[in-house]
Structures are given as structure tokens and as C-alpha cells.
Amino acid sequence: MLRRRTVTAACALVIGAITAMASPAAAAPNPGAAPVISAVKPPPAMLEAMTRDLDLSTDQAEVRLVNEARAGATESRIRADLSDSYAGSWVTGDTASTLVVATTDASKISSITASGVQAKKVDHSLTTLNAAKDALDRRAAAAPRTAPVWYVDVRSNRVVVLTSQPAQAETFIAASGVNRSLVSVQLSTEQPRTYYNVRGGDAYYINGSSRCSVGFAITRGTTNGFVSAGHCGRAGNTTTGYNQVSQGTFQGSSFPGNDYSWVAVNSNWTPVPYVNNGSGGNVTVSGSTVAVVGASICRSGSTTGWHCGTVQQLNTSVTYSQGTVSGVTRTNVCAEPGDSGGSFISGSQAQGVTSGGSGNCTSGGTTYFQPVNEILSTYGLTLVTSGGGGGTCSGYQSTYTGSLSSGASAYQPNGSYYTTTVTGVHRGCLDGPTGVDFDLYLQKWNGSAWVNVAQGTSPGPDETVTYTGTAGQYRYRVHAYSGSGSYSLGVTRP
């Protein structure tokens, strides 16, 4: 059969101002059917850990996972609509039944609540809070040991500095030049430390001595490997696996400042899209969509196995004895030495690698993880997922996953669309299952209908598109031309 020609980059730069909608009377974008949240039965070990650590019943844990997936889909759409007035979001309730979205613009309240979401009017946008935290980050070298942690807390709409000596923290804040009204100082006895001690969560050994844990399996071209914490090893250090068999070599490492690394493994090791579930089984990794504040999250490590908690704050800076690490996520999941580098996962979505924390898994504690998407982007790595296709997409802002039967289509992000207010480059990358023919289309709303502006239609499972366009509403259509299975879609937008 004669196959269609591939058009991987249909580029168009339109000069002049174009409004997103043709006129007030024009129809609003219709993204298609509402997204369906598929309820995949979570593994027993995950449910057991959630019931133990979050004090839930098994039914409540299952409901919570479904609610969190739905919240992530809804939050992504609302965040795009709010633009600069967005001030963060979080879920509440034992089963994450309520999504709260904060905004600085009172006129946006009605549109938020119309989506079935609770709205909160606050004084400071997330952009403003992140800028304040950045100011503290620039003074990280001067931060006192008594103030080891600071983060953006969307619930309180402040940057929080944790300290055992408030006076010393105040001096640090003043030296940063940040607006004091944006910062809240809180008493804390936290003394974070790194956990020095290729399936995610499995043990590996550095230079035949210290032990850490595998984060997630990755590929880089034809090279296989895994990501882990930066403090576990430096470029050139050798590793052996959990069975003490020769494994690989650190290719890149950053610590402090960041806390990430990646290891290239030899031909004896094969990367798989799994995380050790702590009881002899696996949790499948299908993507790396970031979990919202308040979402449940679980960690796998070679010392303490599988433990769960919730996301407390994104964009946190934490000071260890070796220096400050910025941009990590704060959780109330426990961890202990040897868990360093291990997997943080929410549902089936990879979140990051264990950095350090305080406390232990007997009395409880706080643990920080380095987000995995930053590691992938920095080193040009591809996360190994259940999407099939060998993992062809890395370094994209957002990742979406789904499953299609032959002839069917799905629309991303999450059955909806996104809005951009500037001219810029849109990039999409589709990773489909081996042996099928999946296609990818980028569509733009022209005021009355969705129009294809870029497409990838090669006779295979994987596609990429690049398009330079003006402000407006956009969405991706993933089409199963032939064959069925799961896919992963990486998206970067202006």
C-alpha cells in the first residue's frame, strides 16, 4: 500500500498580531471528549505502603490515585488559562478529593470554580514567589547551618525558611535582598544529610565500597544506564550492581547545587521500565508528569524498601554539610542512608531521585528528591517507560501518556488544549509501542475549528513535530493508524 509522505516540520511564522479567537461570537475551542482517567490496579505493595503510611483503607488508596490523576489533568489546563496570575495548586482530603487552585486575579475565580475546582485568591503569584526563592538561592553559600531548608509553599503563599535559630535566618534573608513580606520563618529541628549509602530502587555500589540506590532506567542513544543522586559518585567512578557484578561508570554528576548523576552500564545490564516495589515485584513507569502539591508519592530504596507520603512543596532549597541543593521537592516520606538516588514515583509517573533528608523510617522524617525531568534534560537522556518504542523522547517540558486501540485518536494535554500568549516554537515527540503505526498532529484553533499545522506520519510508532507559530490555542492529536498499545508524548511549548 502506498504510504503517506512524512511531514515532520511544517513551520509557519505569521507576521503581525493575531487574536486567539476570531470574534466574540466565534465558538470556543472544543478539545473533544472529556479525558477519561483509566483506573489501573496499583500493585499490592504500593497499596500496602499507602494504607500504612497515609492511614488509608485499600479502597481509599485506590480512589486517591484516581482523584490525583484527574487533578493533574485539570490543573494543567487551568494553569495555562491563568498564565501570570497562577499562584500554585494542591489537593486536600484523605482521598485527594478536592483540588485547590490559587490566583492573584479575583476575576478568574468564577472560571476556576466552573471547572469544579476550589479557588483561592492570594496576594502573590507563583512567579513572584519563585523569584524570591531564587534570591535566597543566590545567597546559598552564606546560609547558616541552622537554616538548612527553604521552599515555596503554595498553601501559605509564602517562601518558607526552616531554622532552629530565627535570628540567624533573618540575617540570611536580609542579606539576600528579598522582600521580607514574601518570607515566613518557621522553627524546625531538621538537620538534613545525604544518604550515602537496573531497576529503580535496587542497590548499587560505588568503587566497591559505598552503596546507593538506582533511580530510573534511561537510555542515551544506544547507551543504556540509570539516573541517581549526584552525591553518590563522580564522573569516572565505577559501579557494581546489587549482586556485586561489574555494572558501569558514572558519566556525569552534579553536587552540590544540584544532586543528580547518570551511570552508563555495560552489556550485562538491560534497562527496564520498573521500580522495585519492596516485596519482590515491580511498579511500572509510564511517564514523568510532575505530581501536584498534596499528591501521594512513594519511594523505593535499597535500605528501607517502599515507603509513601505526600508532596509537601516543589522548588525547595536544602543545605547539607556539603552545600546547598536547589530545585528539589520536599516530601514527608521517610528514608535512611543507602536509599540515596532511589526512585520517587507517583502512580506510574516517575518524579525524581532521593537526595537526602532528616529522621528515619522508625520515627518518620522529611526527604527531598531531585526532579527526574531536569536530569533527563541536562544530560539528554530518555526515560525508559512502558510506552514501548524504545524511548525516543527526552528533555521535554511535559510528558503525557495514554493507550489507543487501532483507528482511535486521543488529544493531549489530557483531552484538552493549551494556550500560548507569545510567538515561539512548539515541539512534540511521540513514543509509541513497537510494531504499530502511530501518527502525531499539532492542531491550532482558527476561531471555528481545529486545523493541522504540523504533522508526523511516518510508517512507524515514533514521530516528532516542530512548529513556529503565533499566540493561540493548540493541542496534539495522537492517532493509531494501525495497531494498538500505550504511548508517551513529550511536549515543549513557548
- Please give the radius of gyration of the chain, using alpha carbons only, rounded to the nearest integer: 23
Q: Which three cell numbers stand for residue 221?
A: 542513544
Q: Which three cell numbers stand for residue 339?
A: 536509599
* Catalytic-labelled residue, pool 76, 85, 89, 231: 231
Q: Which three cell numbers stand for residue 199?
A: 531497576
Beta-carbon count within 10 A of 114 CB: 9
* Catalytic-labelled residue, pool 228, 286, 317, 340: 340
- Three-point CA angle 186, 170, 254, nearest 5°: 80
Q: Which residues pair with 160 in a beta bridge?
A: 151, 184
How far from 246 is each of 79, 208, 303, 396, CA to CA, in Å? 46, 10, 21, 32
Residue 386 annotated as catalytic: no
Residue 202 annotated as catalytic: no
3-state SS class at 259: coil
Beta-carbon count within 10 A of 397 CB: 12
Residue 259 annotated as catalytic: yes
3-state SS class at 337: coil
* Catalytic-labelled residue, pool 202, 259, 339, 439: 259
Q: Which three cell numbers stand for residue 333?
A: 516520606
Task: Give the separation between CA 85 and CA 122, rounded to whole angstroms.
Answer: 10
User: Are the C-beta atoms of residues 439 and 483 closer than 8 Å to each other?
Assistant: no
* Strand order across the beta sheet in which 424-431 lies: 398-404, 485-492, 424-431, 462-469
Question: Does an H or E element contain 44, and which?
Answer: helix 44-54
DSSP string, 341-398: T-EEEETTEEEEEEEEEEEETTTEEEEEEEEHHHHHHHHT-EE--TT-TT----S-SE
Which amino acids are annotated catalytic?
Answer: 231, 259, 340
